[in-house]
């Protein structure tokens, strides 16, 4: 759709009536709009002319708010808004909520249709704001308040008023305890999806109550909680449960697996990674009884998979057993018996070329393959992968030291859908990257030669080239061609200076995460350019850089989307400089990392203000 925006704007200059699209009835245009699935294309479309803007507003369902300035009037114009996302809005707190609802003409019409609300990382929100949001969005269906670490039981009480909730994400709401979850479980009985990852305050009591009261539960994520087999006993009785994730739950043991084996009739997804009290026979019995299993994640649970393990399943699509020693015959039988496998994780599994060749020969549909730290793999294995699995999308080969450019050549020529290749710690040279750059959609490559990469992989979004000391300004300036780049990590590039940064930020306007740690040759001119161009920056790491007081103040003041800043060991910045810079941006920041030595020197009042606005300060 890139061409569309160009021609559209050209036509708009000539005259609206001349364009054929303006002659079409609204219904047809709306239908055309419905086929634009990329958000960027929609943006181009609505920038063409007022008519298009009007039509786009009519059918726009999802909006991700970046700034709150004109948001009330915007919302009232969007008739069919159903999904609201405030997760990247830097200062969405109680006051903002109050303002939002006071200025819109009462009663708020636009909130009635909102079904999905994403308030992730809105750590400034407390009981009031959340309560008002929930109360006004009467038909709320799905709510995400993950990483609002300040939320506790009172807020959970407010949430429990949304009785129609079907999906609720509470990841890392650290203060929510059993009481809060119980309130939610008792009133939101229609819950189908619930995630309480990292809710350390939740114990068996609330989970048992939840499984008794919410019979509609389908997806449950209990990772990193303190649940024990007692919870699993009741969870296994939820008839509709399809997905159960209990990553890294220390108390989960074989008894839990026995409960799952005897219950959970519709289980499809099971994730028990990093539960180290499990034995493999218990898991094998679960696999045996649950033929509908689609995804099984058991990373770092077992040290070894017995040779006699045979898994017959024509439904299993995802199978991951990182960290377990697997023999070649086992892998071969897995490939032959599970033909539908799409994703397989074998990180640190210490197998040889034979095993992986046997596996891929049976699974032509494989898309995601994780072979991290499989040291013994050679080019022969990679070539057989490339030839068998043409649809490969992601391949992780970190620390596979015997791989040469020959494998990359095969990958580049056979797997045209490859988007993600991890070659960290692999001995790769420029030729190899050149081969790889033939596949057009590589997103994640960690290595040091960039020119060929940038010509080939124009849609690269994430790039890590940390500690590649041979990279210079020239190499970096190639990156400026990657205008879709979002995430860039440039740590420890000693030959990277202000000029390179200037070229980079001028080209990559989408950049939202930038890591410039240990780049000592960048001076203020580079940072000023960054402050001018990179308006979308959300996360920045300036630790150990040479930025000055003035530079820091301008950077922090100008980057209006900035939420997360790491400012450790800034040798040219004084305490006053840091204070001024933080005062400039204190209402936006959500996360801040500072040197612990500053804790005593920096003004207490400033830290209080930051914390009152929902910012979490970490002292290193």
Partner 1 sequence: MDPDKGVAADSWSLLFSEMDSDSLYGSGRQFSGLDYPFRAQVSDVNPQAQGSGEKDWDSRTILSNLSFLEKKIHQLQDLVHVVVGRRDYVTDDILLQQQQLITADLTSIIVQLISTAGSLLPSVKKHIFSSERSSIGGGELNHQKDVVLQQSNSVSKVEDQSDSKGFVQTDPVEDHEMKSDDDVDDMESLTPGSYQILQLEKEEILAPHTHFCMICGKGFKRDANLRMHMRGHGDEYKTPAALAKPNKESPPEPVLLRRYSCPYAGCKRNKDHKKFQPLKTILCVKNHYKRTHCDKTYMCSRCNSKKFSVIADLKTHEKHCGRDKWLCSCGTTFSRKDKLFGHIGLFQGHTPVIPAEEIKGYSATLDQQHCNEAANTKVEQPEFKCNLDAIDVEGPADDSTRYASPLFFDKNGSYQDFPPRTQFEDCGSSFSFFTARDGYYAGSSNTE
- Residue 391 sits in the site that holds partner 1 (CB under 8 A): no
- Residue 604 sits in the site that holds partner 1 (CB under 8 A): no
Name which of 157 and 289 has its Cβ closer to partner 1.
Answer: 157
Name which of 183 and 367 has its Cβ closer to partner 1.
Answer: 183
Cβ(178)–Cβ(205) below 8 Å: yes
Name which of 149 and 619 has its Cβ closer to partner 1.
Answer: 149
- Residue 554 sits in the site that holds partner 1 (CB under 8 A): no
> Considering the complex, what minimum distance in angstroms separates the CB of residue 438 from partner 1?
55
Among the listed residues 131, 335, 492, 500, the single contact to partner 1 using CB under 8 A? 131
Q: How far apart are CA 582 and CA 471, in angstroms?
A: 32
C-alpha triplet 404, 408, 410: angle, nearest 5°: 115
> Considering the complex, what minimum distance in angstroms separates the CB of residue 94 from partner 1?
5
Name which of 28 and 138 has its Cβ closer to partner 1.
Answer: 138
- Which residues, listed in sequence order, are joined to residue 564 by a DSSP beta bridge? 539, 591
What tokens appear for 560 in the block? Answer: 């209006």
Pairing mode of beta strands 420-422, 318-320: unpaired
Pairing mode of beta strands 487-489, 62-64: unpaired
Region from 105-113, 215-223, 378-386, 464-472 binding partner 1, contact rule CB under 8 A:
105-113
| Binding string, residues 137-166; x marks residues near partner 1 by CB under 8 A | -x--------------xx--xx-xx-x---
- Residue 228 sits in the site that holds partner 1 (CB under 8 A): no
Among the listed residues 80, 102, 603, 608, the single contact to partner 1 using CB under 8 A? 102
What tokens appear for 546 in the block? Answer: 């040479």
Name which of 153 and 524 has its Cβ closer to partner 1.
Answer: 153
* Inter-CA distances, 303 with 85, 299, 306, 308, 325, Å: 42, 10, 10, 15, 6
Residue closest to 452 by CA, chosen among 470, 466, 439, 469: 439
Among the listed residues 43, 54, 103, 288, the single contact to partner 1 using CB under 8 A? 103
Cβ(533)–Cβ(508) below 8 Å: no
Q: How far apart are CA 319 and CA 344, in angstroms?
A: 5
Name which of 25 and 106 has its Cβ closer to partner 1.
Answer: 106
Q: How far apart are CA 267 and CA 279, in angstroms?
A: 20
Name which of 125 and 511 has its Cβ closer to partner 1.
Answer: 125
Among the listed residues 135, 458, 495, 591, the single contact to partner 1 using CB under 8 A? 135
> Considering the complex, what minimum distance in angstroms separates the CB of residue 191 from partner 1?
15
Rg (C-alpha) for the chain, rounded Å, is: 26
Q: How far apart are CA 18 and CA 30, in angstroms?
A: 19
Name which of 74 and 154 has its Cβ closer to partner 1.
Answer: 154
> Considering the complex, what minimum distance in angstroms separates the CB of residue 72 from partner 1?
11
Number of residues that bind partner 1 (CB under 8 A): 41
- Which residues, listed in sequence order, are joined to residue 319 by a DSSP beta bridge? 296, 344
- Which residues, listed in sequence order, are joined to residue 282 by a DSSP beta bridge? none
> Considering the complex, what minimum distance in angstroms separates the CB of residue 481 from partner 1?
43
Name which of 235 and 508 has its Cβ closer to partner 1.
Answer: 235
Among the listed residues 65, 66, 209, 598, the single contact to partner 1 using CB under 8 A? 209
Name which of 126 and 538 has its Cβ closer to partner 1.
Answer: 126
- Residue 94 sits in the site that holds partner 1 (CB under 8 A): yes
- Residue 126 sits in the site that holds partner 1 (CB under 8 A): yes
45-51 long-range contacts (CB < 8 A, ≥24 apart) are 45/1, 45/4, 45/5, 45/8, 47/5, 47/9, 48/5, 48/8, 48/9, 48/11, 48/12, 49/8, 49/12, 49/16, 49/22, 51/16, 51/22
> Considering the complex, what minimum distance in angstroms separates the CB of residue 75 from partner 1?
14
- Residue 98 sits in the site that holds partner 1 (CB under 8 A): yes
Q: Is 302 helix (H, G, I), strand (E, B) or coil?
A: coil
Region from 126-134, 371-379, 436-444, 489-497 binding partner 1, contact rule CB under 8 A:
126-134
> Considering the complex, what minimum distance in angstroms separates the CB of residue 135 from partner 1?
5
Q: Is 388 helix (H, G, I), strand (E, B) or coil?
A: helix
> Considering the complex, what minimum distance in angstroms separates the CB of residue 61 from partner 1?
22
- HSE-CB at 109 with a 13 A cutoff on CA atoms is 9
- Residue 178 sits in the site that holds partner 1 (CB under 8 A): yes
What tokens appear for 96 in the block? Answer: 């903002």
DSSP-assigned letter for residue 528: H
Cβ(415)–Cβ(390) below 8 Å: yes
**Angle between helix 280-289 and helix 254-262 axes, rounded to 10 deg:** 10
Name which of 410 and 613 has its Cβ closer to partner 1.
Answer: 613
- Residue 108 sits in the site that holds partner 1 (CB under 8 A): yes
- Residue 187 sits in the site that holds partner 1 (CB under 8 A): yes
Among the listed residues 58, 68, 186, 595, the single contact to partner 1 using CB under 8 A? 186
Residues that bind partner 1 (CB under 8 A): 93-95, 97-99, 101-103, 105-108, 126-128, 131-132, 134-136, 138, 153-154, 157-158, 160-161, 163, 178-179, 182-183, 186-187, 205-206, 208-209, 212, 612
């Amino acid at each position: 759709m890139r061409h569309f925006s160009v021609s559209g704007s050209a036509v708009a200059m000539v005259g609206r009536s001349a364009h054929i699209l303006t002659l079409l009835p609204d219904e047809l245009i709306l239908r055309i709009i419905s086929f634009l699935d990329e958000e960027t294309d929609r943006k181009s479309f609505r920038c063409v002319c007022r008519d298009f803007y009007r039509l786009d507003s009519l059918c726009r369902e999802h909006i991700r708010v970046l700034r709150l300035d004109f948001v009330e009037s915007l919302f009232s114009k969007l008739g069919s808004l159903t999904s609201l996302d405030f997760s990247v809005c830097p200062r969405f707190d109680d006051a903002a909520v109050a303002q939002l609802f006071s200025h819109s003409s009462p009663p708020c019409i636009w909130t009635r249709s909102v079904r999905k609300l994403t308030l992730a990382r809105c750590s400034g929100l407390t009981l009031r704001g959340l309560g008002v949001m929930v109360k006004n969005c009467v038909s709320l269906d799905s709510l995400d308040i993950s990483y609002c670490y300040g939320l506790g039981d009172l807020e959970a009480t407010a949430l429990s008023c949304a009785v129609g909730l079907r999906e609720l994400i509470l990841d890392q709401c650290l203060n929510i305890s059993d009481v809060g979850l119980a309130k939610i479980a008792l009133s939101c009985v229609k819950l189908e999806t619930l995630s309480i990852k990292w809710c350390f305050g939740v114990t068996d009591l609330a989970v048992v109550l939840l499984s008794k009261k919410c019979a509609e539960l389908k997806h449950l994520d209990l990772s990193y909680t303190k649940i024990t087999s007692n919870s699993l006993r009741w969870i296994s009785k939820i008839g509709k449960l399809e997905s159960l994730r209990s990553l890294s739950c220390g108390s989960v043991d074989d008894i839990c697996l026995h409960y799952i084996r005897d219950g959970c009739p519709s289980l499809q997804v099971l994730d028990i990674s990093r539960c180290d009290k499990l034995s493999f026979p218990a898991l094998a019995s679960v696999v045996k009884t649950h033929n509908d299993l689609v995804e099984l994640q058991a990373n770092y649970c077992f040290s070894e998979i017995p040779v006699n393990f045979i898994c017959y399943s024509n439904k299993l699509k995802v199978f991951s057993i990182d960290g377990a020693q697997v023999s070649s015959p086992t892998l071969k039988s897995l490939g032959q018996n599970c033909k539908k496998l799409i994703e397989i994780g074998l990180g640190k599994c210490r197998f040889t070329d034979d095993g992986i060749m046997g596996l891929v020969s049976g699974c032509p549909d494989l898309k995601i393959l994780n072979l991290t730290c499989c040291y013994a793999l050679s080019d022969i294995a990679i070539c057989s992968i490339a030839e068998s699995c043409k649809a490969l999308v992601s391949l992780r080969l970190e620390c596979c030291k015997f791989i040469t450019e020959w494998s990359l050549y095969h990958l580049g020529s056979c797997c045209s859908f490859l988007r993600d290749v991890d070659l960290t710690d692999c001995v790769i040279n420029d030729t190899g990257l050149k081969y790889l750059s033939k596949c057009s959609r590589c997103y994640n490559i960690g290595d040091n030669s960039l020119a060929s990469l940038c010509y080939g992989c124009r849609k690269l979004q994430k790039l890590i080239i940390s500690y590649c000391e041979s990279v210079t300004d020239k190499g970096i300036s190639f990156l400026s061609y990657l205008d879709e780049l979002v995430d860039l990590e440039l740590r420890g590039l000693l030959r990277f200076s202000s000029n390179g940064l200037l070229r980079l930020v001028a080209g990559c306007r989408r950049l939202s995460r930038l890591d410039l740690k240990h780049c000592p040759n960048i001076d203020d001119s580079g940072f000023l350019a960054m402050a001018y161009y990179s308006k979308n920056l959300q996360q920045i790491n300036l630790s150990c850089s040479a930025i000055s007081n003035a530079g820091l103040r301008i950077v922090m003041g100008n980057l209006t989307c900035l939420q997360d800043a790491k400012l450790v060991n800034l040798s040219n910045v004084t305490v006053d400089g840091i204070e001024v810079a933080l005062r400039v941006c204190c209402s936006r920041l959500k996360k801040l990392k500072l040197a612990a030595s500053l804790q005593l020197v920096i003004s207490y009042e400033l830290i209080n203000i930051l914390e009152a606005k929902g910012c979490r300060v970490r002292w290193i």
